[in-house]
């Protein structure tokens, strides 16, 4: 049967646009003088902010690659592989938007635009859109936590896995 290639094209272009935006913020951050070392583990530090934007950009590149692979499989008539690959692309993104949890506020304009683009894309699960809204609304970086024990207790109380 094959996938809707026009829809995959739309999604792939949006993922590419988000990736380009995130890469522009990554480059901007890499050019800034750092007040701390790259080993700094405080939430919102220059090192964690850079790591966060790298995580976001990497996740967009991975999703874009999976969408392109699904389109290729579909064109070649490998419908089962195409469906599986597309489902993998839609799965929960490991570092998106959680990479933003590491980043100093305010987030860079390009990062915000990229996150809004992905939120509004309608391709990923609804949980991703909710997580993006939460990340965009956060007044400060939240990860890594200053108190790991308290962080683990809170996650357990919410029933989250770690």
Q: Is the pLDDT of residue 148 over 90?
A: no
Of 68, 66, 72, the C-alpha closest to 88 is 66
Taking residues 12-24, report their average pLDDT: 98
The C-alpha R_g of the chain, in whole angstroms, comes to 17
C-alpha torsion sign, points 88, 57, 12, 114: positive
- Higher confidence at residue 93 or residue 25? 25
Q: State the pLDDT at residue 37.
A: 57
Q: Are 32 and 125 in contact (CB under 8 A)?
A: no
Distance (Å, rounded) from C-alpha 51 to C-alpha 54?
5
Confidence bin at 97 (pLDDT 50/70/90): very high
- Tell me the percentage of the chain whose pLDDT exceeds 90: 69
Cα distance from N-terminal residue to C-terminal residue, the chain: 39
Q: State the pLDDT at residue 38.
A: 53
Taking residues 38-60, report their average pLDDT: 89
Question: What is the overall mean pLDDT for the chain?
Answer: 90
Q: Is the pLDDT of residue 85 over 80?
A: yes
């Amino acid at each position: 049967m094959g996938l809707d290639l026009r829809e995959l094209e739309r999604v792939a272009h949006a993922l590419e646009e988000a990736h380009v935006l995130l890469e522009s913020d990554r480059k901007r951050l890499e050019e800034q003088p750092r007040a701390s070392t790259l080993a700094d583990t405080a939430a919102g530090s220059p090192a964690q902010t850079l790591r966060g934007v790298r995580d976001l950009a990497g996740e967009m590149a991975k999703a874009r690659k999976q969408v392109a692979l699904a389109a290729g499989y579909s064109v070649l008539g490998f419908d089962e592989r195409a469906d599986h690959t597309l489902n993998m692309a839609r799965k929960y993104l490991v570092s998106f938007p959680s990479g933003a949890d590491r980043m100093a506020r305010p987030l860079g304009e390009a990062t915000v635009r990229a996150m809004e683009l992905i939120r509004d894309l309608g391709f990923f699960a609804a949980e991703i859109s909710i997580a993006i809204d939460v990340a965009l609304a956060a007044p400060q970086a939240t990860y890594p936590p200053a108190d790991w024990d308290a962080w683990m207790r809170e996650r357990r109380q919410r029933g989250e896995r770690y």
